[in-house]
């Protein structure tokens, strides 16, 4: 089975690293029976399919329930561009290991869904509940779980505490990828895919990387990144139906929050600066799909497919959660009048990440 999955790209200004080691607590993995470890075996290959080297990777994950079915939730990057021969699942509660089977993934959001391969295997343990109403705030306490460094459960289990630094972080408006949770709970190599929990013990994110505080990063020390539960909940039904999710995109279009745009730029655009902070179109590529759909510089975005848009991050998210070639209605405010314009989405242009050495 070949899985052409990739790790989520942040931006050229950020450098991603597998991990920095954190202090363990006195908690035991038995307190989190839904936590699992996945050991992946396979091989790298040439374009003609011949093997050029073995591949082994270890990540963390969680057992969840969706539509009365049991799934394993983890990251997608552990099977990036390799042929997967076998994936073994090890349980925190000590039960015997079993094999996992790939169900679906989003390389853009770095989330994957798996099921138990053995049809006779019945999981009757605890599942992790996803917080469907998660509204994280900066400073909120969180917990990161995982089994780092590929060592078996019982030997090296990691639970770290921290706080939310930013619930919806994106480095700049040029970054095409989804915003993510930025937090301070230290994660380690092998913790990717492990859950990020709120004080109520519900999943609010999936940890996927470390952001090193260097190379033009706004931070002087390591911070840690997680995929938000709000995105995960929207992805699960799609992953359950598709091997690999394709995401929508509108090329040749820039939407930003008006409060972030300098007055001099509004003057250059010959657009009146809004009094309130609103998502506004600041660039439309001539002849592009946005231009052909009728979108114009200075349009204030109100809705995408009936969903209200409060800032440019909402706009990006709503577009990316839709499929290529899907027709989407975009409601804008232009010269005091509301207009609804239909646009056919293209496929999201995935960007390869930059990893720290």
197 vs 9 pLDDT, higher one:
197
Read off the pLDDT of each residue in 35-64 and give the average, rounded to a whole number: 84
Output the average pLDDT for the chain. 82
The pair phi, psi for residue 337, each rounded to 5°, is -115, 145
The reported pLDDT for the residue numbered 15 is: 35
Backbone dihedral region for residue 224 (phi beyond 0: left; psi -120 to 50: alpha; all else: beta): beta
Model confidence pLDDT, tens digit, residues 310-326: 988 899 899 999 999 99
Parse the chain into domains and list their residue ranges.
Answer: 1-243, 248-347
Grade residue 176 by pLDDT with cuts at 50, 70 and 90: low
For domain 248-347, give its CATH number from 3.40.640.10, 3.20.20.70, 2.30.42.10, 3.40.50.2020.
Answer: 2.30.42.10
Closest by CA to 206, choosing from 144, 137, 288, is 144
CB atoms closer than 10 angstroms to residue 140: 15
Q: Can you tell me the distance from the alpha carbon of 91 to that of 29, in angstroms, rounded to the nearest whole number?
A: 9
In 3-state terms, what secondary structure has residue 56? strand
- What six digits make up the tokens of 18? 């597998």
Please report, for residues 58, 254, 262, the alpha-carbon distance to residue 143 in angstroms, rounded to integers and kept in the order given. Answer: 20, 36, 38
Model confidence pLDDT, tens digit, residues 219-268: 445 788 999 999 999 999 999 997 789 999 998 999 999 998 988 998 88
Point out which residues pair with 51 in neighbouring strands. 45
The reported pLDDT for the residue numbered 151 is: 67
Q: Do residues 162 and 184 lie in contact, with contact meaning Cβ atoms separated by under 8 Å?
A: yes
212 vs 348 pLDDT, higher one:
348
The reported pLDDT for the residue numbered 47 is: 66
Full-model pTM: 0.83
CB atoms closer than 10 angstroms to residue 221: 11
Which distant-in-sequence residues (6+ apart) come within 8 Å of 289 by Cβ? 250, 251, 252, 343, 344, 346
pLDDT(179) > 50: yes
Q: Can you tell me the distance from the alpha carbon of 323 to that of 303, in angstroms, rounded to the nearest whole number?
A: 17
The reported pLDDT for the residue numbered 175 is: 53
**Residue 143 is inside which H or E element, if any?**
strand 141-146
Grade residue 44 by pLDDT with cuts at 50, 70 and 90: confident
For domain 1-243, give its CATH number from 3.10.20.30, 3.30.300.30, 2.40.10.120, 2.30.110.10.
Answer: 2.40.10.120
Specify the range with the lowest mean pLDDT, choosing from 16-30, 144-158, 207-221.
Answer: 16-30
Q: Can you tell me the distance from the alpha carbon of 73 to that of 222, in angstroms, rounded to the nearest whole number?
A: 25
Read off the pLDDT of each residue in 118-137 and give the average, rounded to a whole number: 91
The reported pLDDT for the residue numbered 303 is: 97
For the chain, state the CA radius of gyration.
21
CA 97 centroid distance within chain? 27
Point out which residues pair with 76 in neighbouring strands. none
């Amino acid at each position: 089975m070949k899985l052409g999955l990739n790790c989520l790209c942040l931006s050229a200004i950020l450098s991603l690293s597998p991990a920095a080691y954190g202090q363990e607590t006195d908690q035991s993995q038995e307190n989190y029976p839904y936590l699992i470890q996945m050991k992946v075996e396979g091989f790298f290959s040439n374009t003609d399919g011949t093997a050029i080297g073995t591949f082994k990777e270890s990540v963390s994950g969680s057992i969840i329930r969706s539509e009365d079915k049991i799934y394993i939730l983890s990251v997608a990057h552990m099977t990036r561009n390799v042929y997967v021969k076998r994936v073994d699942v090890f349980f925190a509660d000590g039960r015997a290991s079993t094999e996992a089977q790939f169900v679906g993934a989003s390389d853009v959001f770095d989330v994957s869904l798996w099921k138990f391969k053995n049809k006779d295997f019945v999981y009757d343990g605890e599942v992790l509940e996803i917080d469907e109403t998660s509204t994280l705030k900066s400073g909120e306490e969180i917990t990161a779980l995982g089994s780092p460094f590929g060592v078996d459960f019982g030997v090296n289990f990691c639970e770290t505490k921290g706080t939310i630094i930013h619930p919806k972080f994106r480095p700049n408006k040029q970054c095409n990828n989804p915003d993510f949770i930025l937090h301070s709970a230290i994660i380690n190599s092998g913790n990717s895919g492990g859950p990020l929990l709120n004080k109520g013990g519900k999943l609010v994110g999936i940890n996927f990387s470390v952001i090193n505080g260097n190379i033009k990063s706004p931070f002087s020390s390591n911070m840690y990144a997680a995929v938000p539960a709000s995105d995960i909940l929207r992805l699960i039904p799609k992953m359950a139906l598709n091997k690999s999710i394709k995401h929508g995109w509108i090329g040749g279009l820039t939407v930003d929050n008006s409060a972030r745009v300098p007055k001099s730029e509004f003057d250059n655009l010959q657009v009146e600066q809004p009094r309130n902070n609103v998502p506004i179109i600041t660039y439309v590529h001539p002849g592009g799909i946005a231009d052909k759909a009728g979108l114009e510089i200075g349009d204030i975005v109100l809705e995408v497919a009936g969903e209200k848009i409060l800032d440019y991050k909402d706009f990006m998210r709503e577009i990316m959660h839709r499929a290529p070639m899907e027709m989407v209605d975009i409601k804008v405010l232009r010269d005091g009048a509301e207009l609804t314009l239909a646009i056919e989405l293209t496929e999201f242009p995935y960007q390869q990440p930059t990893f720290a050495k």
